[in-house]
Structure 1
Amino acid sequence: MKTSFKTILSLLIATILVVSCSRKKDKFINRNFHAVTAEFNSLYNGYNALEEGRISLNDAYFDNYWDVLPIERMQISEEVMLPGQSKNENFSRAEEKAVKAIQKHSMNIKGKEINPQMDEAYLLLGKARYFDQRFVPAIEAFNYILYKYPASDKINQAKVWREKTNMRLDNNELAIKNLKRLLKQEQLEGQDLADATSMLAQAYLNTKSVDSAITQLQIASTSTKNNDERGRYRFIQGQLYNKLGKKDSANLAFDKVIDLNRRTPRIYMITAYLEKFKNFDFENGNKLEAQELLTKLEENRENRPFLDKIYHQIGEFHLNNGSDSSAMAYYNKSLRTNSPDRLLKAKNYETIGDMFFDNSEYATAGAYFDSTMSNLKLNSKPFRVIKRKRDNLEDVIYYEAIAKTNDSILHLVHLPEAERLSLFESYVSNLKEQAEEEKEQAEAAERNANTGLVTANNIPSATNAVGARGGLPGQAALFYFYNPTTVAYGKNEFVKVWGNRALEDNWRWSSKGSVATSTNATGSTNDLSALASDEERFDPQFYISKIPSEEKEIDSISKERNYAYYQLGLIYKEKFKEYQLSKSKFQNLLESNPEERLILPSKYNLYKIYELLGENDEASIAKAEIIKNYPESRYANILEHPELVSDKDENSPESLYEALYNLHEQQKYAEVISKSEDYIKRFDGEPIIPKLELLKATANGRLNGFEAFKTGVNHLSVTYANTNEGKQAQKIINEVLPKIANTDFVEAIDSVTTHYKVVFQFKDTERNNIPTFKKELDSVLKEVKYYRLSSSVDLYNPQTTFVLVHGIKNEAVAKTFKQLLTDKNKKKIIKPFFVISSANYQTIQIHKNLEAYLNPNNQ
C-alpha cells in the first residue's frame, strides 16, 4: 500500500510539474512556477554575478581627489571590443542569466506578460550591459521595461537607469528633462529618491550647473540608505562648495563626512580632513591646533594607507607657514611612501622643484621637473606647462655646469704647487681609507659566505632550494643579492663607472654626479680615480699631471667659462628676471679678463640691470663709460639718442636678420654669406648669432654645395650645441646629411613617371641677359599646346645661373623640347639646353657636379 501511495504521489507531482512548465497557459500554477524558478535560479545567480562584477569594477577604479569626484565609481574604457567580447566576465554571465530567465520563463500571452519577474529580468539585462559599457543595448532593455511593464514596481528604477545611460551617451539635457519630470510626477522615497537625485546632480555637473548639483546631492545624501553613498555625496558637496569659493559651507559638508567615521570608507574621512586643511586661514586660524591635528592623523595607525596624502598636506601646511625645510622633508616623506597616486607624486616633485627654482638652484629644479613630467599624462596641459618650465632651464643648467667645471679647473691652474699637493694628498688619503673599509667589508663578507656554505650543505632542503634556483645539484649557493661578497664587488664596480650617486630619481644625470671633495676645486677627480689604475689612483702626482698647463689650453677653458658667464647673465635677465643673479654673472665676467667681443654687450646689459634694480648711480657710471669708450657703437647711439630708437629698430639684430633672410629668398647667397660674417662679428655674444650661423651655412650650401653645408652645420652643432639652432643642426647631421650624401645619378626608368627639366645655362658674363631671355621664354611657353609649362631662375654657383622649364613628365619630350614650339618661336629660343630629371637636378645642386652629369660617360 505504501509503495502504491508513493507511486501515485510521484506521478501526481510529475504531472503537476509537466503541466506547470507550459508558458502558454495563464494558470496559477504556471505563473508561480515560472516566477519562482526565474527569481530563485536565473535571476538570483545573475544578480550575484552583477554584484561581483560591480565590486571588481569599484576595486579597479582609482578616484582622483584632485578633481570633483563623479557620483558613480565607474571607469570608462576607450578599448574597442569585438562582438561577443566582454570587458568583464561577471557582467557577461549576468547578461546570460537574464537572457536565460527571459527565454525560459517569459509568459507572453495575448500580448501581455503575466510572469511578474520579467521586468526584473530586463532590469538585470540592462544593468549588465550598462556596466559592460554597451550603452545602446542597455538603453534598449530599460526602454522595453517602460514600454511593456508600465505598472511594474521597478518602473522608477528603470527610468533612473535609462537616464544614467543617457548621460553616458552625452545626452545630459535629455536626462535632466526626464529626471525632473520623474521627480515631479512620482512621490519617490528612500533609495529611489536618492538614486534619482544623485543622477540628476551628475547631469547638472556635466552641464556645469554646480549650484543645482549641490541641491540635489543634499537630497540624495539625506535619502540614501547606503552610508558609502552618503559619505561620497557629502564629500562631493564639499568639493563643489570649494569650487564656488564657499569655504565655510565646504567645511560644514566635510565635517558631516568626518562625523560618519567608520560608517563610510575611511578614505572619505581622511580626504575630508585634508580638504579642510586646504581651506585653513593662515592669518586668523589657530596654527598650533591645526598642526596638532595633522600630527594626530599622521600618528594614527589606521591612517597608514593614506600617509602619502597626509604627508603631502603636512608639507603644504609648513610651506604656507614659511617653514620650507620642514615642508621639503614631508614632501620627500610622501614620495617615499611609493604612492599609487601619480598626480600626488607629480605635485610633490613639482613643489620641490619650485622650491629649488625659487632658491636659484636651477639644475636641481630641472631634475625634479623631469620627475614631475614622468608622473603626468603625456601631452596633457599640466605636462606641457612643466615641459615649458623645464625647457627654459635647459640652457641655464648647461651653462652653469660649464661655468662650475671650468672655474674648478682654473682654480687648480692658479693654485701654488704646495697647495695643489696638499689638496690631492688629502684626497688620496680619503681614497685609501675608503679602500681599506671596502676591503675589510669584502673579507668579512667572504668569511660569512663560507660559513653559510657549510651550514647550507648540512640542510638538504636548503640544497634543494638552491638547486632549484639554478645552482648545481647538491651544491648550496646563495642568491647573489644575499651574497655580501658579490654585493660589495657590485658596489665597487658601480662607483668606478658612475661615481658616488644619491639614491634618487634621474640618478644617471651628469648633474647628479658627486664632487670628490668638499670643495669644487677638485672638479671631476671622481671620474679620474674611476679610470685610473690602482697605482695611479693613490698617487697625488697623477691628479696634478692632469691639470692643464699649456697656455693655449688654459686660454680655451677661460674663454669657454667667460662665454658661459655671459649666457647665464642673459638668461637670468631675460628669462627669469633674476636681476641680482644676472648682475653677479656679468660682473664676474668683466673681472675675468674676457674677450673684447663680450665686454661691451656685458656693460650695456649691466647698465639695463642697474636701471631695473633702481641703482641709478651705477647706471649713470655705466652709461657714461659706454658713451666715452665706445662712441661709435650701436649701444652708445642708443644711450645718447633713445628717442631715435623705435619699437622696430632697423639696426637691431632682429631687423638685420629679417633683411638678410629676404636676400636669401632672392638667391643672393654670396651677399648673405658676406653680411652674415659681418653681423656675427658685430653682434658676437648675442642670442641672434646661432640664427645667423644657420642662415650662413644654408646659403653656403646653396652656393658651394654639400661639403660647405656640412662644414657649416658641424660648426654650428659644436659651437652652439645647447641652442635651438644647434640642436637643429645636430638633427640635420644625423638625419638629413646621410640621405643627401650620395653623388650617384639615378637612371631613368620609362615605366616610372617622373619630372624632367629643360635647363639653359648662363655664365656670369651673361647674367644681365637673363631677365630678357626669361620674359621671351615665358611668352613662348604660353603658346605650347597640350602642356602647362612654366619657367624659373635658379642659381647654380657663383659663375653659373640656370633658367629652367618645368612641367614635362617624359624624357623624350624633354629632349625634343623645341619640337613643341612653333616655327616662329623656335627662332626666338636659340640658346642650347640640356635635359635632366628632377632627382638628378637635386643631386647636381647639392654636390655641384654638373660636369660629371654632362660628361657622356656619366649620361
Structure 2
Amino acid sequence: MKKNIVFLLAAIIVVSCGTKVKKPEARSKFLKGFSTYYNTLFNAKDALNSEFTERDKAHKDNFYAPYIPILTYEEQPLGSDLGQSSAFAENSMKMAEVNRPQQNARNAPGMPSNGPGMPGMPGNTSQDPNNPEGNKGASVLEIAEAKALKAINKYSVIRKGEEQNKTIFDAYIILAQSRIYQGKAIKALDALNYVFTHMKEDKRLPLAHIYEALAYSQIKNYHKSEEIFNKLRNEKLSKDHDKLLSIYYAESLLDAGKKEESIKELDRAFELNGNRKLKSRIAFLRGQILQETGKQDLARESFLSAYKYANDFEFEVKSQIEIAKTFNGKGNYEGAKDYLEKISKKGTYGSRKNEFYYALGLMANKAGKKKEAQEFFRKSLLEKVSDGQVRGLAYYEIGKDYLDKNDYIGAGAYYDSALVSMTYEPSRILLQDQSSYIKKISKNYYLIKRNDSVLSLAKMSDAQKTDYFAKYIEKLKIKEEKEEQERRRAERSKGFDTGDYNANSLFANSSNSFEDFGVSAKGFYFGNTGTVSKGTSTFKQVWGDRALVDNWRYSKKMTSLEDMKNEALGVTSVPNPRRFEPSFYIEQIPSDAGKLSQLKKDRDTASLGLGVMYQNYFTNTPLATKTLYDLVDVKPEEKVMLQALYEIFAMNYEKNPQIAARAKQILLTDYPYTSYAEFARNPKNNNFVKSSEEVENEYKMAFALYESEKFAESQGKIEQVVLKYPKDALVPKLNLLNAFNAGKTGGKEVMILQLEQIVLNYAKTPEGIKAKEMLNYLKSDIAFQATDNKGNKMPDNPFNGPGQPSNIQSQNSNIAPNNTVNQMNNNPPKNNNILKKPGNNTMQKLQAPVEAKPMTK
C-alpha cells in the first residue's frame, strides 16, 4: 500500500512539473480540488474554526435577555460541514503543525497577504493610505474572508459557465459565513449569488439557500427570508440541512415578531435534533416565548424538558428557576417549595442557594403568601452571591413590597441597592427610571405628611397639645429604654466568639490563616495590599458601606432607613435634653397665620404633583384619583383646584366616567367660564380619520348659513355634525367656525372660551394655530369689564383708574362685551383660508391633522 501511495505521489509531481502550460479551463479538476483544500481553503476554514472556538470560550448565556440563541459557536456549521465537528479540529491540528509556520512567516504579525488579485481586501494594511504604519492587524474573520477569496481566485475552474471545482462551494460558504458574522450580510448575499449562478447542480445548494435566508433575516428583510425558508421546507432536504433550517427559521420568525409560528418551528427543531445540548437550548427558548405569551403551563413543560436534557450546570440551575417562575399559584405550593429547598442543599446546588431562595420568593408571591415571599428574598441576600442580577432582583422585590405599603424611603433605598447589584443593562435602565420617580414621589409624600402633622397640631387647643405630646413622650421613653437594654446586652457579649462558621463562611476551611484570594501562594490576608483591596471592594459591592458595630448585617440597613425617614419628616436624630418636656415641642408649632397659610399652599401643591406622578410614572389611576380628590376636599387655592379637577376628569372620563362625573360637575357649577369647564363639556378627540363627503357637504351648508348671518342655525348644524362624526378630519375646522358663530351670538368672552378650547384640543393643527393667533389679538390691551372665573364682574384695576386699560391678561381672563369690541369680532375674515369652504386645495391638509398635545401643566 505504501509503495502505491509513493508511486501515486511521484506521478502527480511529474505531471504537475510538466513544461506544457495549460489554460485555466483545461486544468485538472482533481488537482485543483486537492490544492484548494490542502492549501488556502484549509487555512480559511482553520481561521473560521479558531474564531468560533474563541467566541465559544467567551460565550456566556444571558438568561435575563428576552431570548437565548439556540446555536452557540461550538455548534455553528463550519463551511459545508454541518456542526462544527471536533473531528475537523483534531484533523486540523496535524495540518496546522505543517502549514502554520509558513503561514506565520508570510503573514506576520497576523496580517494575511492579499496578493495582487485582491486589492483593498481586509488585512492589507500596509497598502492602506489611511494606515501608513500598517500596524493594525486584521481580525480572524477578515483573515478567513481573505483566505476564502484567495482560494476562489486561485483555484476556480469554470467551463461553459459551470464551476468544475466542487471544493469552491466550500470556499463560498466560508466566505458567506465570515461576512455574516462580521455583520456584512449584503456582501454575503453577493458571494452566495455566485453559487446559485455557477453551481446549479450541486447537492449542497440547499445549504447556500439557508445562509441566503439567514442573511436576509440579518438585514431585517423577514418577508424574503420566510419565503426562502418556506420554499426549502417543501423540498426534500437531507436530515442535516433540515436540522439547521429548523433552527435558523425559528429564530428568524421570532425576530420578525411571529411568536406562534416560531413556537411551531421550535417544536419541529426539537424533534429533528438529537443532540442533548441543542434540545435543551431549543426547549429553553420555547419556554421563554410561551412564558412571554402567558402560556405558563406549556412554558413549565418546556423548561422541564430543558432541565431534563441539560448537560451544563448553569443551564440546570436556570431551568429550575424558570420552572419555579411559571408556578401559577394554584398547584401544590408546599410540594414545590419542599422540592426546591431540598435540591438547593444537594452538592454543587448549595452554591446557588441565593438563586433558589429568590425563586422560592417568586413562588410564594404567586401563592399569595406575601410575608413568606419577603422572608425568602431576604434569605437570598444573606447567601453567597452566585449571580449579581439575581441579587439585584431580590433587592427589587423587597423594595417593591415597601412601595406597595407607600414606604417610599424604604423602596428607594432597596431600589438603589438593586441598581448596584444588577448586571443586565436594560433592567438597570428601567429600574433607574423607577428609582428616580420614587425619589420625586418620596419628596412630595413626606412634605405632605410633615405639613399635615404641623397643620393638625396648630388647630389643637393648648390642653390637647399638652396631652398629645405627653403620650408621645411616654412612647419615646419606652423606646429609649429598650435601646439602652440592647446596648448593655451587646456590651456584655463583647469578647465572646460570635464568628460565622457556616459552609459559606470565610473561616469554614481547615486553614488557620486568612486566604489570599487571587494569588497562588497563601499567607496572612492583611499582609497583602492587593487582597485587602479586592476584599474591601467585594464587600462594599455586596453589603455597601457598613459601620463597625455588632449585628452589622441588619442594624445599619434598618437604622439608615429610619434616619432617612426622620430626616424627611424633619425629626432630628440627636437627642435633645428637653425631649421629655411637652413645652419643647409646643414651642416649635408655628402660630403665625402667614406661615400656616404657606404650609397649606406647599402641602396642596405637593399633593397635586403627587397625584400627577402616580398617574404619569406608575399609571396608578385609582391612587392618583384618590390623592387628587383628597386635595379637592381640603379646598386649595383656585389655580390648584382647577388643575386637580382637570387631571381627575382627563384621566377618568373615558374609562371611568362615573368617577369623572364629580370633577365635571364641580367645574361646570363653580367654574363655568373657564377653559377647563369647556374641556369638560367637550373633551378633546385626537383620533381623527379622513373627511367624508357627507361631512364636507354639512360644513359647506354651515358656512353658507354663517355668511347669511344665520349664526344660531349654523351653530346648531355644526353641533349635530360633530356629535354624529366625532372622528372626522373636519372637526377642528367645524369648531373654529363655531367659535365665530359664538362670537356673533354670545359676545367676545364666549368667543374667547371657544378659541381657548380649540387651542387646548387641536394645538398643532392649522385651526389650532389660527385660534392661538386670534386669542393673542383678542386679549390685547383694549378697555373692557373683567369678570372672574365664576362670571362675576370685577372692579376696575385701582392702579389704572376708571376707564383705563386693565393689565389683567391671564389665559383664563374673560372679556365682557362693550362698545369697543375689536374688528375681528364684528367682521371675521370671510376669505380666511382656515374658514373657507373645503376644496381641493385645503383637503390635503385635513387628511392627517397633527395630534394635539395635552394641556401644559
TM-score (norm 1): 0.51
Q: Deviations over 1:252-295 (max 9, x none)?
A: 43333232143xx3444444433433443533x22222112221
Deviation at 1:192, TM superposition (A): 1.2
Q: Deviations over 1:487-510 (max 9, x none)?
A: 9xxx999899xx999656996997
Relative to structure 1, is the Cα distance of residues 658 and 165 closer, same or farther in structure 2, using a 3 angstrom cutoff?
same
Deviation at 1:164, TM superposition (A): 0.8
User: Hey, what's the Cα distance between the residues in 2 that align with 1:28 and 1:252?
Assistant: 54
Deviation at 1:231, TM superposition (A): 1.4
1:254 equivalent in alignment to 2:303: yes
1:398 equivalent in alignment to 2:451: no
1:282 equivalent in alignment to 2:318: no
1:175 paired residue among 211, 217, 225: 225
| Secondary structure of the structure 1 residue equivalent to 2:591 | helix
Aligned ranges for residues 442-453 of structure 1 at < 5 Å? Answer: none
Deviation at 1:673, TM superposition (A): 13
Give 2:276's aligned amino acid: N
Partner of 1:198: 247
Higher relative contact order (CA 8 A, sep 6+): 2
Give 1:26's aligned amino acid: R
Greater mean alpha carbon deviation, residues 417-426 or residues 194-203: 417-426
Partner of 1:89: 139
User: Hey, what's the Cα distance between the residues in 1 that align with 2:346 and 2:371?
Assistant: 24
Greater mean alpha carbon deviation, residues 195-204 or residues 121-130: 195-204
1:524 paired residue among 572, 585, 591: 572
Deviation at 1:126, TM superposition (A): 1.0
Give 1:196's aligned amino acid: L
1:166 paired residue among 210, 213, 216: 216
Aligned ranges for residues 280-429 of structure 1 at < 5 Å? Answer: 280-283=327-330, 285-303=331-349, 307=353, 309-334=355-380, 342=389, 348-368=394-414, 377=426, 391-400=440-449, 414-415=469-470
1:34 equivalent in alignment to 2:35: yes
**Would the aligned equivalents of 1:146 and 1:155 in 2 still touch at CA under 8 Å?**
yes
Aligned ranges for residues 562-577 of structure 1 at < 5 Å? Answer: 563=600
1:511 equivalent in alignment to 2:511: no
Q: Deviations over 1:594-633 (max 9, x none)?
A: xx999xx99xx9xxxxxxxxxxxxxxxxxxxxxxxxxxxx
Partner of 1:146: 196
Relative to structure 1, is the Cα distance of residues 141 and 153 closer, same or farther in structure 2, using a 3 angstrom cutoff?
same
- Identity level (%): 15
**Would the aligned equivalents of 2:381 and 2:391 in 1 still touch at CA under 8 Å?**
yes
1:132 paired residue among 173, 182, 186: 182
**Would the aligned equivalents of 2:63 and 2:318 in 1 still touch at CA under 8 Å?**
no
Deviation at 1:658, TM superposition (A): 8.3
Deviation at 1:124, TM superposition (A): 0.9
User: Hey, what's the Cα distance between the residues in 1 that align with 2:29 and 2:636?
Assistant: 106
**Would the aligned equivalents of 1:190 and 1:225 in 2 still touch at CA under 8 Å?**
no
Pair member with larger Rg: 1
Q: Deviations over 1:67-88 (max 9, x none)?
A: 34454569xxxxxxx9959999
Give 1:276's aligned amino acid: I
Relative to structure 1, is the Cα distance of residues 216 and 416 closer, same or farther in structure 2, using a 3 angstrom cutoff?
closer
**Would the aligned equivalents of 1:156 and 1:192 in 2 still touch at CA under 8 Å?**
yes
Aligned ranges for residues 686-701 of structure 1 at < 5 Å? Answer: none
| Secondary structure of the structure 2 residue equivalent to 1:137 | helix
Relative to structure 1, is the Cα distance of residues 366 and 196 closer, same or farther in structure 2, using a 3 angstrom cutoff?
same
User: Hey, what's the Cα distance between the residues in 2 that align with 1:417 and 1:266?
Assistant: 57
**Would the aligned equivalents of 2:358 and 2:380 in 1 still touch at CA under 8 Å?**
yes
Partner of 2:668: 649
| Secondary structure of the structure 2 residue equivalent to 1:649 | helix
Partner of 1:121: 171
Greater mean alpha carbon deviation, residues 88-97 or residues 406-415: 406-415
Partner of 1:224: 273
User: Hey, what's the Cα distance between the residues in 2 that align with 1:267 and 1:379?
Assistant: 23
Relative to structure 1, is the Cα distance of residues 149 and 657 closer, same or farther in structure 2, using a 3 angstrom cutoff?
closer
User: Hey, what's the Cα distance between the residues in 2 that align with 1:221 and 1:417?
Assistant: 68
Deviation at 1:418, TM superposition (A): 10
Relative to structure 1, is the Cα distance of residues 147 and 772 closer, same or farther in structure 2, using a 3 angstrom cutoff?
same
Greater mean alpha carbon deviation, residues 288-297 or residues 47-56: 47-56
Relative to structure 1, is the Cα distance of residues 655 and 311 closer, same or farther in structure 2, using a 3 angstrom cutoff?
farther
**Would the aligned equivalents of 2:62 and 2:68 in 1 still touch at CA under 8 Å?**
no
User: Hey, what's the Cα distance between the residues in 2 that align with 1:468 and 1:644?
Assistant: 70
User: Hey, what's the Cα distance between the residues in 1 that align with 2:265 and 2:251?
Assistant: 9
Give 2:363's aligned amino acid: F
Deviation at 1:385, TM superposition (A): 7.2
**Would the aligned equivalents of 1:105 and 1:115 in 2 still touch at CA under 8 Å?**
yes
User: Hey, what's the Cα distance between the residues in 2 that align with 1:297 and 1:468?
Assistant: 38
Aligned ranges for residues 661-676 of structure 1 at < 5 Å? Answer: 666=779
Relative to structure 1, is the Cα distance of residues 282 and 420 closer, same or farther in structure 2, using a 3 angstrom cutoff?
closer
| Secondary structure of the structure 2 residue equivalent to 1:525 | coil
Q: Give unpaired runs (5+ residues) of structure 2.
A: 1-5, 74-119, 124-135, 459-464, 497-520, 615-619, 645-660, 679-748, 757-774, 792-796, 808-817, 824-857
Give 1:294's aligned amino acid: L
**Would the aligned equivalents of 1:408 and 1:523 in 2 still touch at CA under 8 Å?**
no
Give 1:524's aligned amino acid: T
Q: Deviations over 1:307-338 (max 9, x none)?
A: 55433321011122333232113224445665
**Would the aligned equivalents of 2:328 and 2:366 in 1 still touch at CA under 8 Å?**
no
Give 1:64's aligned amino acid: Y
User: Hey, what's the Cα distance between the residues in 2 that align with 1:766 and 1:674?
Assistant: 15
1:555 equivalent in alignment to 2:555: no
Aligned length: 576
Deviation at 1:137, TM superposition (A): 1.2
Partner of 1:48: 49
**Would the aligned equivalents of 2:286 and 2:299 in 1 still touch at CA under 8 Å?**
yes
Please report the RMSD computed on the Cα atoms of aligned residues, expressed in angstroms: 6.6
User: Hey, what's the Cα distance between the residues in 2 that align with 1:118 and 1:163?
Assistant: 21
Relative to structure 1, is the Cα distance of residues 96 and 645 closer, same or farther in structure 2, using a 3 angstrom cutoff?
closer
User: Hey, what's the Cα distance between the residues in 2 that align with 1:658 and 1:644?
Assistant: 10
**Would the aligned equivalents of 1:191 and 1:225 in 2 still touch at CA under 8 Å?**
no
Deviation at 1:113, TM superposition (A): 3.5
Deviation at 1:411, TM superposition (A): 8.2
Deviation at 1:304, TM superposition (A): 5.7
Deviation at 1:180, TM superposition (A): 1.6
Q: Deviations over 1:354-396 (max 9, x none)?
A: 3223334343234445666786649978876786677555422
Give 1:45's aligned amino acid: D
Give 1:555's aligned amino acid: S
Relative to structure 1, is the Cα distance of residues 407 and 39 closer, same or farther in structure 2, using a 3 angstrom cutoff?
farther
Deviation at 1:152, TM superposition (A): 3.1
Larger % of helix: which?
1
Relative to structure 1, is the Cα distance of residues 195 and 349 closer, same or farther in structure 2, using a 3 angstrom cutoff?
same
Relative to structure 1, is the Cα distance of residues 671 and 96 closer, same or farther in structure 2, using a 3 angstrom cutoff?
farther
Q: Deviations over 1:775-826 (max 9, x none)?
A: 99xxxxxxxxxxxxxxxxxxxxxxxxxxxxxxxxxxxxxxxxxxxxxxxxxx
Q: Deviations over 1:339-359 (max 9, x none)?
A: 7575x5665455333322333
Relative to structure 1, is the Cα distance of residues 36 and 525 closer, same or farther in structure 2, using a 3 angstrom cutoff?
closer
| Secondary structure of the structure 1 residue equivalent to 2:670 | coil
TM-score (norm 2): 0.51
Partner of 1:838: none
Q: Give unpaired runs (5+ residues) of structure 1.
A: 1-5, 75-81, 442-460, 471-477, 529-539, 591-595, 606-641, 680-699, 705-762, 777-859
Partner of 2:656: none
Relative to structure 1, is the Cα distance of residues 427 and 769 closer, same or farther in structure 2, using a 3 angstrom cutoff?
closer
1:100 equivalent in alignment to 2:150: yes
